[in-house]
Amino acid sequence: MGHRLMNEGLKWLFFSLWLIANIAIFIATFLKFYTRKEYYYTREILREALPIAKGSAAGLNLNSMLILIPVCRNLISFLRGSVFCQCCKRNVRRQLDKNIAFHKLCAYMICFWTIIHYFAHTFNFERYWLAHESTDNSTGGLYSTLSNLPSQPNGTWINPIRPTTSATNPMLELVKNIAGYTGVIITIPLILIMSSATEIIRRSYFEVFWYTHHLFIVYYIGLVTHGLGNVVRLQINIDDHDPEYCKDYYEEWGTPARPECPIPQFSGDGASSWKWVLAPILLYIVERIMRFVRGMQMVTISKVIKHPSQVIELQMRKPGFTMEAGQYIQIQCPSISRFEWHPFTLTSSPKEDFFSIHIRLVGDWTNALAEACHVNEDGLQDPGKMPRLAVDGPYGTCSEDAYRYQTVMFVGAGIGVTPFAAILKDIWYKHCDHNHQMKLTKVYFYWISSDTHSFEWFADLLGSLEDQMENAGKSDLLTYNIFLTRGWNTRQALNIVTNVDKERDVITNLKHKTQFGRPKWEIEFDKIARMHQGTRIGVFFCGPKSLSKELHNTCNRFSDASTATHFVYNKENF
């Protein structure tokens, strides 16, 4: 338990505070509508469904306010680079890397509160309908009197289903009201957004996910107008008309017999959601304007390289573009789609005079981009024939924090190796710069792939680093391990066995030999923990969720408070 608290204590603290805020705002709003005298007559009609509906609405407003903030990438990058965050402990900064996870949490909570709010208001309209249909007798007289109060612009009415209503279906009355049809406007986009955000849709049909996610605009329009129907009414003359006393004399309201009980006056409590979401909406608008301005700046594709395993490399230049190792950019190709933006990790070093990305061709958009860049044509590509690209960014990721540790582990699976291409280059450049003081002194790099061809495009970089470090007498800086999990045939296996004694690896042509099968993480972590006792070791991962979970648990398991050895897990999220 202690080692888990070392790594996850702050995360669970933030989660607990968020959960407590949701519970607290529900309870506070529930008690307001359950106890306050202004809502006495409304409670008489609606019972406990009134405070439940309003409490869930408050929770809905809270999370609708919070959900936009984690996707403001410029804000997250600004906070990451701010003086405050630079002075913060690593554990505090790491919480910025969980922005997408928090965004999802808020989305789940919005769905939860929406379901409660929807069913509570469905019950409320049923109760309003029963009050409307009640007769003036000993059991239904109060309801009938309240339902038949006169309608005026700022009127005394309390029941939105008026005496002139001739419909016989309360559900029809629900959707005819502003609150009813705006509720539908809120719910339908929410269902589409959540269903298209599932893992299988997002990975297989990214365009569906991208377009439906922008229905959040419709959602917010419905949210801020939802309260304009003034369905829930509060009494505005309780000083003249005490409802707890006067409810028993409803037949004499406004008569000389009961001067202390004038006709109760009611007013809608008005729309309040806009007060919650106005600031984040304005923040998000500023965010989108900044993205638009950056996206309009000219980008030149200087070189296109086709690598094995369906990977292409784009080298680009953009005036005023500055980056740090480990950052990522968003790419748009207007000739393919004017609306789609896709994130890619930068694989170049800040020391190079261009910035580059590596793209695996696995979908319609990436294949269309490769075709537009003429990657299958022989000879040099004509820069004049290259498609126009819009580049937004760069944005920070957890990989920027690698320089804050003395020892780091980089783990990349498949194309997930790309963030570490830039960082390994940059580490070497900084080590060669004698004027640059760097805390980082040891790098353990693990690359896991299921395809022998996947190693080819990155092996050149590793080979270059290997030779340069050996020539400079700094071979101890980088220890790398390459694992091939599957993908070899009988002929390749025979070739590997035959050449096992050669100085260089038969697959990668590197001095470090390729290992076969999956890494045994317990052995790797135990070895590193013994060699670096009493230190904080940064573990950085980019790859599939299943391996991420395994690494995360292993980091927690091998963090030992007694020896002050602390594995800090960081995962790429964009």
Query: In whole angstroms, how far apart are CA 352 and each of 283, 343, 347, 356, 397?
Result: 34, 21, 11, 10, 20
Do residues 163 and 306 share a domain?
no
- Which CATH number characterizes residue 310's domain? 2.40.30.10
Cβ(262)–Cβ(148) below 8 Å: no
Which residue's entry shows tokens 């002194």? 441
Residue 449 to residue 484: CA distance in whole angstroms? 5
Alpha carbon distances (Å) from 378 to 192, 306, 436, 542? 44, 11, 42, 33
Statement to judge: residues 66 and 180 lie in one domain: yes
Residue 408: in which H helix or E strand, if any? strand 407-413
Asked if residue 270 belongs to a domain, the reply is yes
- The Cα 206–Cα 408 span in angstroms is 33
Could you give the C-alpha distances from 540 to 93, 400, 401, 413, 460, in angstroms and in order? 14, 10, 9, 11, 22
Q: Dihedral, CA atoms, 206, 209, 211, 213, nearest 10 degrees?
A: -150
Examine the domain organization and report whether 219 and 314 are in the same domain. Answer: no
Question: Would residue 22 count as lying in a domain?
Answer: yes
Average pLDDT over every residue of 338-365: 83
- Rounded Cα gap, residues 397 and 345, in angstroms: 9
Contacts of 253 (CB under 8 A, 6+ apart): 145, 241, 246, 261, 262, 263, 264
Are 258 and 300 within one domain? no
Residue 155 has pLDDT above 70, yes or no: no
Point out the domain boundary residue: 286, 313, 333. Answer: 286
Per-chain mean pLDDT for the chain: 80
pLDDT number for residue 386: 85
Look at strands 300-307 and 342-345 and give their pairing: unpaired
In terms of average pLDDT, the best of 54-68, 93-107, 215-229, 339-353 is 54-68
Domain of residue 390, residue span? 296-395
Judgement on whether residues 129 and 175 belong to the same structural domain of the protein = yes
Q: What is the pLDDT of residues 403-427, one digit of tens each?
A: 888 888 988 887 777 778 778 877 7
What is the arithmetic mean of pLDDT over 532-556? 85
Cα–Cα distance measured from residue 561 to residue 89, given in angstroms and rounded to the nearest whole number: 17
CA distance 60 to 111: 8
Q: Is residue 518 part of a domain?
A: yes
- pLDDT band (50, 70, 90) for residue 436: low
Angle 178-196/216-225 helices, nearest 10 degrees?
160
Out of 357, 377, 395, a domain closes at 395
**CA distance between the termini of the chain:** 30
CA distance 463 to 411: 18
For position 539, which CATH number holds?
3.40.50.80
Q: Looking at the structure, do residues 280 and 346 belong to the same domain, yes or no?
A: no
* Chain length of the chain: 574
* Number of C-beta neighbours around residue 372 at 10 A: 17
Q: What is the DSSP letter of 498?
A: H
Residue 450 lies in a domain: no
Distance CA 51, CA 26 (A): 9
Helix, strand, coil content of the chain in percent (nearest 5): 55, 15, 30
29 falls within a domain: yes
* Burial letters 496-532, b for 16+ CB under 10 A, else e: beeeeeeeebebbebebbbeeeebebeebbeebbeeb
Same domain, 254 and 272: yes
Comparing 76-80, 144-148, 357-361, 461-465, which segment has the lowest mean pLDDT? 461-465
**Average pLDDT estimate for 68-75:** 88
446 phi, psi to nearest 5 deg: -125, 125
Phi/psi at 388 (5° precision): -75, 130
At 197 the pLDDT is 86
Q: How many CB atoms lie within 10 A of CB 357?
A: 23
Residue with tokens 């007289």: 141
Cα angle, residue 87 at apex, residues 93 and 561 outer, rounded to 5°: 65
* Amino acid (1-letter code) at residue 398: C
Where does the pLDDT of residue 485 fall: very low under 50, low under 70, confident under 90, or very high at 90 and above?
confident
- The SS3 of residue 410 is strand
Per-residue pLDDT at 61: 95
Instruction: Tell me the two tokens of residue 236.
Output: 């505005």
The pTM for the full model equals: 0.81
Mean per-residue pLDDT, 498-517: 59
Instruction: Kindly state the DSSP code that residue 332 receives in the 8-state scheme.
Output: E
Please compute the mean of the pLDDT values over residues 185-190 and round it to a whole number.
Answer: 89
Say what the pLDDT of residue 511 is: 60
Q: What angle, rounded to 10 degrees, do the helices at 2-35 and 99-133 form?
A: 20
Q: Residue 390's closest CA among 349, 337, 447, 351?
A: 337
Q: Any idea which of 276-290, 444-458, 554-568 has the lowest mean pLDDT?
A: 444-458
Q: How many CB atoms lie under 10 A from the CB of residue 223?
A: 25
Count of domains in the chain? 3
Hey, is 154 helix, strand or coil?
coil
Residue 141 falls within a domain, yes or no?
yes
Indicate whether 421 belongs to any domain. no
Same domain assignment for residues 114 and 59: yes
What is the reported pLDDT for 154?
58
114 with 158, same domain?
yes
- Please state which of the ranges 71-85, 188-202, 242-256, 486-500 shows the lowest mean pLDDT: 486-500
Beta strands 233-235 and 266-268, pairing class:
antiparallel
334 and 267 inside one domain: no
**How many helices and strands in the chain, by DSSP H and E?**
21, 14
- Of the ranges 258-267, 381-390, 487-496, the best mean pLDDT one: 258-267
Percentage with pLDDT > 90 across the chain? 15
pLDDT at position 83: 46
Q: What Cα–Cα distance (Å) separates residue 530 from each residue in 99, 478, 518, 537? A: 33, 18, 22, 12
Flag whether 105 is in a domain: yes
Beta strands in 485-565 (DSSP E): 515-516, 536-542
What phi, psi does 425 have (nearest 5°)? -60, -45
For residue 336, give the 3-state DSSP assignment: coil
Q: Which of 395, 430, 447 is the last residue in one of the domains?
A: 395
Do 22 and 154 lie in one domain? The reply is: yes
Using DSSP bridges, classify how beta strands 407-413 and 442-449 pair: parallel, antiparallel or unpaired. parallel
Judge if 225 and 165 occupy the same domain.
yes
